[in-house]
Structure 1
Amino acid sequence: MSGAFRPALLVVDLQEDFCPPNGSLAVSNGRDVAPVINQLLAAPFVIRIATKDWHPADHISFAANHEGKQPYTDYVKVVNPHNGAETEETRLWPVHCVQGTPGAELIPELNVGQIDKIIEKGTDPRVEMYSPFYDPFKSPRVYDSGLVGVLREHRVTDVYVVGLTADYCVKFAAVDAAKEGFRTYLVEEGTRAVDAAGWPTCRRGIEEAGVKVVSMKDSEVSRLMTAS
């Protein structure tokens, strides 16, 4: 079994609201990752999954839902709705990726026809959910997307992660994949960060969590292209 290689591709939140020129939470050069991601989509993955932020309008992460709070600069304490003793501090954002709006759509540059499954996340207004696997609360967990089950059902061994944004949803997707026991690779050319200046520090933290940050030129990616 040690020789098995059954890779999955996770394309995180490649949505209009995270991309220039019109996205409400646009990341610098966010749209530019599409060609790299499309190149990866053509490789022989066992399964290719895209995730979407799919927020209700009253989502807790929107600064507009907290009086006197500003996006990017302000934070808010989120309480586990099932356990008042468990709390998380979360950064506040502009309203983005609201269910059914144009900003929540996957960008047209993405070869959506190559995607096998789309998972929607952040649908519970009470909790922040960067990871496409589950929310950060543990006692008890509030929401689980079922993504781990999908990967196990396909007997996936290795997970490749790309999309937006490197320092939030992509980071948490990769860290949680590694935590669940998958060999995990974040392909650097396939992502962009909200806080570009902080990316080197963020990258180190991701690597310390057991994720390998790789380049399209690295053997971990080239082996995909040569796999039959």
Structure 2
Amino acid sequence: MGDFVPALLVVDMQEDFCPPNGALAVENGRSIAPIINDLLCNRRFAIRVATQDWHPKDHISFAVNHPPPNNLPFESFITMSNPVPGKETQTKPQQLWPVHCVAGTEGASMIPEIKTDCVDLFVKKGMDPGVEMYSVFADAFGNVDSTKSVDTDLKAVLKGKNVTDVFIAGLAGDYCVKCTAIDAIKAGFRAWVIEEGTLCVVPGLGWEKTKEELEEDGVHVIHVDGPEIDMLRA
């Protein structure tokens, strides 16, 4: 494999993404905490990063911020424009969600099952009200703007530590995990998603489709008991 400097990205293990009270809960979302804790605390990484959705109340993805009848969470889509000046004509459809992970609220906090004392860096994302940001590396249009959408230029941090490979687990597999992994490839890293360490909004066939998308983009989907993880044993 040549040079190999691994980093761990734990994606959005937050109260609003977990039962029983999460506004956008992934079924059994808390159940992957032991796997993530083993990765965080018992494996050898150059840096261990946890991401958090950290939305303003007026975020574009919240259904309540749009007029009826096109404001049904999980069902409705709106047209979202690129927030970069001069690129406003670039648009994308955006699915609407319930209000979730509002900055500073209990729903945005990490679940207590995660051993956060093993985390080296927390990165807050999705802070620009006008654009969705599933990936920690870039918004939905591929923009990287550390002053609006995200509070840390994670690519620069990882490059500064000579990271070559990014291992990813967390929630949800078919949204933030997938987009982060694909953008890690675009940022110049090798990317590995740990199958047992992620769960999807749409389980079953949703995960199978997600795996196909990941592999098409060059992301490796691996198992927690596989050789790639075993070699990271501290």
Instruction: Indicate the TM-score class for this superposition, using the shorter chain for normalisation.
Output: over 0.9
Mapped contact 2:138–2:144 kept (Cα < 8 A): no
Secondary structure of the residue aligned to 2:174 is: coil
Residues 48-87 of structure 1 aligned to structure 2 (within 5 Å): 48-68=48-68, 69-81=71-83, 82=85, 83-87=87-91
Secondary structure of the residue aligned to 2:49 is: strand
Larger mean CA deviation between 131-140 and 205-214 belongs to 131-140
Q: Give the corresponding residue for 2:231.
A: 223
Q: Give the corresponding residue for 1:126.
A: 130
Q: Give the corresponding residue for 2:45.
A: 45
Mapped contact 1:80–1:127 kept (Cα < 8 A): yes
1:72 is displaced (CA, Å) by: 0.6
> Match for 1:165 among 161, 169, 172?
172
Deviations 1:78-124 (A, max 9, x none): 01132221111111100000011100000000000000000000000
1:5 is displaced (CA, Å) by: 1.7
Residues 23-38 of structure 1 aligned to structure 2 (within 5 Å): 23-38=22-37
Question: RMSD in angstroms over aligned alpha carbons?
Answer: 1.5
Q: Give the corresponding residue for 2:103.
A: 99
**Inter-partner Cα distance in structure 1 for 2:30 and 2:169:** 12
Q: Give the corresponding residue for 1:210.
A: 218
Q: 1:79 to 1:131 in 2, by over 3 A?
A: same
Secondary structure of the residue aligned to 2:231 is: helix
Deviations 1:124-152 (A, max 9, x none): 00000000111122579674640100100
Secondary structure of the residue aligned to 2:197 is: strand
1:66 is displaced (CA, Å) by: 0.8
Residues 109-188 of structure 1 aligned to structure 2 (within 5 Å): 109-138=113-142, 143=149, 145-188=152-195
Question: What is the percentage of aligned positions where both structures have the same residue?
Answer: 50
**Inter-partner Cα distance in structure 1 for 2:22 and 2:168:** 22
Q: What one-letter code is carried by the residue in structure 1 that aligns with 2:168?
A: V
Q: Give the corresponding residue for 1:198.
A: 206
Q: 1:112 to 1:220 in 2, by over 3 A?
A: same
1:179 is displaced (CA, Å) by: 1.5
**TM-score computed with the length of structure 1 as normaliser:** 0.95
Secondary structure of the residue aligned to 1:10 is: strand
Larger mean CA deviation between 118-127 and 74-83 belongs to 74-83
